[in-house]
Structure 1
Amino acid sequence: MPELGLNTISFAGRAAASTQFKTLYSEGMALVEETASYLDGNGRAASKVLPRMASVLYAAESMRLTTRLMQMASWLLLQRAVNNGEMTREQVLAEKSKVRLDSFNVDRNAPGWNDLPESFRDLIERSLRLQNRVALLDREIYRAPEAAIVPDNENGVQAQINLLQTAFAGN
């Protein structure tokens, strides 16, 4: 009997070059554009009339939001480049080490949070959900091969189903 996990199909690797990736890519780039438009337009106007605490929080969160989106966009562009054969996996590995997909803490209980414009808070929440999807796909695509082996006490099929549900979950 072959060792469990050695012949496991990498759904994440296939998903990275699939229609689902294209959808994730489109969502990510659309969110970058929507956020830039908001911050330069309605967000700028809304931030000028915020109470002091909310104004300081808005400035900090807008920087975090922008950074989060730029990191995700960088990852998405790198993945698209490898999918299109423009870069090798090794080149992408070297470049993606500069990309941070870890979470930036958002304190929804911070003073002024509830005073932030609802549309701004929505952009933050959507960016966090997208970041989680990208980070999950990144871990699955680029983890070490030995990490792909399913432990004897784990159901391999259920693990793949959980991965698929998380990776391709909608907003």
Structure 2
Amino acid sequence: MDSDDGRGETIDFGTRFANSETFRTLFREGMALVEETASYLDGPGRAESRGLSRSASLIYATESMRLTTRLMQLASWLLLQRAVNEGEMTQAQAGAEKSKVRIESPKSERSGPGWDEVPEMLRSLVERSQRLQDRIRRLDEAIFSDDRPDAEVAPNPVGEQLGLLTRAFGSDD
């Protein structure tokens, strides 16, 4: 505890989470989704897209492009964070590189003429990628929120009170 300024030590939950087994699970899930999507789009998805109506075919093409772009951005973010976790780069370096990664992309429409014709597997991959994106966005906010120049460090009320008591009554430590 720091008695000079009255602040206790804080726990950085974002960084702690990023170094946890939960992050490693998220990483594996994300990379598996990338592989599953690539496999689908290069195989069964290609065959399924041939029999679609014109409107469904346009939706399929648009959604598959959005899906691959989204997954590549998410994979880039996951790889950056893994590099930090393994000591290959600092959190600050990852923050600078992260600015090149867009983890916020527009949601897919999931309605309209032709959407019901889009193969269920593509619709499932789109939905799963968006859930992964939401999880990563929340983790990103937790990790990098303190890196913003305008972010203020929240005072620790307990630390402040202990600091006041220590100053008022002295310490025999």
For the criterion TM > 0.5, the same-fold answer is yes
Q: Distance in 1 between matches of 2:21 and 2:114?
A: 40
Q: In structure 2, give the amino acid aligned to 1:99.
A: V
Residue 69 of structure 2 aligns to a residue whose secondary structure is: helix
Within a 5 Å distance, the mapping from 1:22-171 to structure 2 comes to 22-144=24-146, 146=151, 149=154
Aligned-CA RMSD value = 2.1
Instruction: Note the C-alpha offset of 1:88.
Output: 1.4
Verify the 8 A CA contact 2:14 2:143 in the aligned structure 1. Answer: yes
Identical positions, percent: 58
Q: In structure 2, give the amino acid aligned to 1:102.
A: E
- Aligned residue for 2:170? none
Q: Which has the larger radius of gyration?
A: 2
Alpha-carbon displacement from aligned partner over 1:18-38 (angstroms, at most 9, x marks no partner)? 100000000000000000000
Residue 144 of structure 1 aligns to a residue whose secondary structure is: helix
Verify the 8 A CA contact 1:6 1:149 in the aligned structure 2. Answer: no
Q: Distance in 2 between matches of 1:138 and 1:85?
A: 18
> Structure 2: which 5+ residue stretches go unaligned?
158-173
Alpha-carbon displacement from aligned partner over 1:119-170 (angstroms, at most 9, x marks no partner)? 11000000000000001000110012635638x9xxxxxxxxxxxxxxxxxx
Alpha-carbon displacement from aligned partner over 1:59-100 (angstroms, at most 9, x marks no partner)? 000000000000000000000001000011221111110000
Q: In structure 2, give the amino acid aligned to 1:64.
A: R
For these two proteins, the number of residue pairs brought into alignment is 149
- Aligned residue for 2:23? 21
**Taking structure 1 as the reference length, what is the TM-score of the superposition?**
0.81
Q: In structure 1, give the amino acid aligned to 2:108.
A: V
117-126 vs 89-98, greater mean Cα deviation? 89-98
Q: Distance in 1 between matches of 2:41 and 2:19?
A: 32
**Taking structure 2 as the reference length, what is the TM-score of the superposition?**
0.80
Verify the 8 A CA contact 1:75 1:99 in the aligned structure 2. Answer: yes
The structure 1 segments of at least 4 consecutive aligned residues displaced by more than 4 Å after TM superposition are: 5-8
Residue 108 of structure 1 aligns to a residue whose secondary structure is: coil
> Structure 1: which 5+ residue stretches go unaligned?
153-171
Q: Which has the higher contact order (CA 8 A, sep 6+)?
A: 2
- Aligned residue for 1:165? none
- Aligned residue for 1:161? none
